[in-house]
Structure 1
């Protein structure tokens, strides 16, 4: 159809994704003679989701922490903890970036906010320039599996999988991905003969005491979840209120009247973009379901792929490629309705599938040619995009190996849930 060509051309020329999706949905509804009332009906179903309020609450909490001086306090703490180890400074950078990515939901804030802070630290400690850039780029997309990461909530809403199960299932895989990058970084630090400071228990205690407020935010969410004392939304509200309390009234990094409204406005812009995208995607999904597209896709895939193991391999490749092109929120709302039924048909646990899905999109941030972190790092460090490919390929390989382990060893995702009796 010529109109579909216009929609595609508009997208390629820079039209927002939600405009393309809503336009495509309306065209398809009109073509089939289906009432477009299905679109607002799907939006209402989205609004009625009991998990939805967690999205703006956690986003606000992440932006409040990102706009404060939390980065300086966390750098001091992790330097005191890891500075005496081989490759300790690299471990410090990795830890700070992971924690910030967890707070901000992988929206690129980590590289923008921390790049200028942690990159010079690595260079001063004699780390190779290429490794230093690669570590910042790679670490800036780790942490999306940990609470209170926003993509987990979004996947929960779209796929209908409880967010608390996803958070618990993501702990071990997330820690494993961080660990393999940490081992490699430590090895590079040893080879580079980077500086090592003597461990000081006094400094470690002082740094911990200074950073205790920020460190306690993810701990608060985890404790509320695991103990069953709060729902997802209640835990998100607690995290948001706690962040405002500590940054505005305890640490006073953000003025409650002068600064906080601007911070909330920034977070509101991201939330608005996510919700508009999610709403239009739900309308398009409604047409896909009515047209039985998932069923047709399933039948087509099953005629070509019989083995669940082969399906998982193809799924990984597809998610990795699309994850490098699509922004993570777009990827979740567009791909989940199509791929979740396929996973169920091949007998893959929906929680395990969610972790596979998110781990691949997390890796897509650094996958050439246009992974989001590559684009941001190119701008932040004033480097040609192609030069960054050389710096991230090792991280891409080792993290890719970790994603394959997550895919083919389900116990990594489901073991903790079984131990706690949640599945």
Structure 2
């Protein structure tokens, strides 16, 4: 009976998540269609689209918790044996339960106090549209306790996290009680004041505990959100501000593009698009010395433009590309692993790159300018890795494939659908026909039509399984963004960027010394943080410094993203290193050795991009 109820609940959760994601696709698509053909628009699309993102975020977060796929550092957890594994699991689950519980209660208070009950989102009351926020956090808190593979002892310890979670949410609890009954005893307000009086003494040790948890596997969103929550509490801040900041970010204008382009990229990665692209590039570039390595780099770049630096490229295409390079290309396993690991985030600077979109939102600069600014630096990175393949082929006598015009034209016809997608994106967005979120929705619809109805790689009913696979990726990213925004708000509110600018101005006069320090800082940041949370948390610190030293905003953004891209390769904890170890079934220490020459080469390319501003701003100058 219990299993039937759980299965029924999971089915309902999956269905609602699928409906929310498809609503996020269909509303912008209908908006484009109605605007182009009827010169009007989809009713209330401006309010419905961002709130669809809100539902997708927290439903995806719930699904991610169900499968326990939230991003974490896990620098020591992977090789632990019992009983230490259970101890670490219990600690992580305890911290996750504690912080998620505090956010669930604070979010409920936010829903009650931040929105007028008569305010509407299309046909829905806004409180109904936002109730998914506390529900999402509450479900995640419960799942930290009841994850299916944990022992009873671990679950009991995790459940104890409810107690400090409730205590941390004492002021929001008082606010909720006062909303229900304005005449609650004054005793409750005294408790709230006592909480704020005690927290300045507890904030530092609690932050240290969370940082320690982050090092042993506590999810990044819990780490960032928990630190922000405790710092706010220690400074007498209104704790409802944190979920409200998450709401403001997730309902921002360009944020829908992130889940939409991720979805489009994942549809392609789940189909035979990778094979068709490999066949295309192989036929057209295989005749070059090192042509197969060039093929691998180009295919990786194509997919990463859609999926961001999420590791999907390595996981989805690593096996296929490894086979192409080793079994039919003549490259060693060591070289192949190093090349594919290094190429896993190589398309990060090309449109419609998700990190570029997010950086544009955070920095409040033109996303189109950022796309243009990333073209030459992105090409430099691709060219550098391609030349590594050429050098390896010429050194070891790897044979090229003779060019055959018939095969080349046949492969072009076969992969024309995939090649046409970026053309549609660029013409739609840069041509001013569609906004960035509408472009993402069109990309999803195009991918579905291509894969399901034209190429028939999968049936439409199988799209549900694709959604369940992509939701943890979407949820992992968007929930981190939601939590990171609160920490970013605290950093700005505490005037840390202004203090940092004053400190740099007083001690560093050279722009080039600043750029060296920036490279080092961002490399470490990219190694320890995922790129999306790094943009939200670290970005506000960097922006005023770039202005202080007269660095063009687009150039600063490209420097920022190029360094973070390199951080994914930085030993010992760069994310792509873990994914490569898993995908290629190779010990992590051996993966480190395979990427060293590629890492050093990309370091040189990042320095070149950093110290030659024209690469980032030259095309902009020509266009403008």
Confirm or deny a common fold (TM above 0.5): yes
Match of 2:433 among 225, 229, 235: 229
Answering whether residue 477 of structure 2 is matched by residue 279 of structure 1, we say no
Question: Please, which runs of 5 or more residues in structure 2 have no aligned partner?
Answer: 1-203
TM-score by length of 2: 0.65
Shift of 1:159: 2.2
Specify the alignment match of 1:306 in structure 2.
Answer: 509
- Picking from 310, 317, 322, the partner of 1:119 is 322
Q: Of the candidates 382, 402, 407, which is equivalent to residue 198 of structure 1?
A: 402
Q: Deviations over 1:321-375 (max 9, x none)?
A: 2212222222222211222222122211111111111111111111111211111
Secondary structure, aligned partner of 1:199? coil
Whether 1:35 and 2:238 are equivalent positions in the alignment is: yes
Q: Structure 1 stretches (4+) deviating beyond 3 angstroms? A: none
Shift of 1:229: 2.1
Give the counterpart of 2:380 among 173, 176, 189. Answer: 176
1:249-303 superposed Cα distances (whole Å, 9 cap, x missing partner): 111112111x112212322222222222112211122222221111112222222
Residues in 2 aligned to 1:130 and 1:16: alpha-carbon distance in whole angstroms? 31
Structure 1 vs Structure 2 CA RMSD: 1.6
Size of the aligned set, in residue pairs, is 420
| Secondary structure of residue in 1 paired with 2:460 | coil
Distance 1:288 1:88 in 2: 48
- Structure 1 portions without partners, runs of 5+: none
Q: Is the 8 A contact 1:128 1:192 kept in 2?
A: no
Between Structure 1 and Structure 2, whose CA radius of gyration is higher? 2
Is 1:250 the counterpart of 2:454 in the alignment? yes
Partner secondary structure for residue 127 of structure 1? coil
For residues 512 and 609 of structure 2, the distance between their equivalents in structure 1, rounded to whole angstroms, comes to 13
Which segment is superposed worse, 348-357 or 157-166?
A: 157-166
Contact 1:57 1:236 in 2 (8 A): yes
Provide the residue aligned with 1:90 in structure 2. 293
Q: Flag the 1:285–1:11 CA change in 2: closer, same or farther, 3 A.
A: same
Separation in structure 1 between the aligned mates of residue 490 and residue 286 of structure 2, nearest angstrom: 55
Rounded to whole Å, the distance in 2 between the matches of 1:323 and 1:35 is 31
Shift of 1:232: 1.2
Which residues in structure 2 correspond to 1:358-369 (within 5 Å)? 358-369=561-572
Paired residues of 2:269 and 2:317 also in contact (CA < 8 A): no
Distance of aligned partners of 1:130 and 1:47 in 2 relative to their CA distance in 1, 3 Å threshold: closer
TM-score scaled to structure 1, two decimals? Answer: 0.95
In structure 2, the residue matched to 1:411 is: 614
Partner of 2:536: 333
**Residues 355 and 531, structure 2, Cα contact 8 Å, conserved in 1:** yes
Give the Cα–Cα distance (whole angstroms) in 1 for the partners of residues 210 and 518 of structure 2: 27
C-alpha distance in structure 2 between counterparts of 1:336 and 1:45, whole Å? 17
User: Could you tell me which of 308, 325, 338 is aligned with 1:105?
Assistant: 308
Q: Name the residue aligned to 1:139.
A: 343
In structure 2, the residue matched to 1:78 is 281
Instruction: Compute the displacement of 1:184 (Å).
Output: 2.2
Secondary structure at the aligned position of 2:341 is classed as helix
Corresponding position of 1:292: 495
Higher relative contact order (CA 8 A, sep 6+): 1
Q: Shift in Å at residue 248 of structure 1?
A: 1.4
Partner secondary structure for residue 194 of structure 1? coil
CA–CA separation in structure 2 for the residues paired with 1:290 and 1:226: 35
Output the CA distance in 1 between the equivalents of 2:603 and 2:246: 36
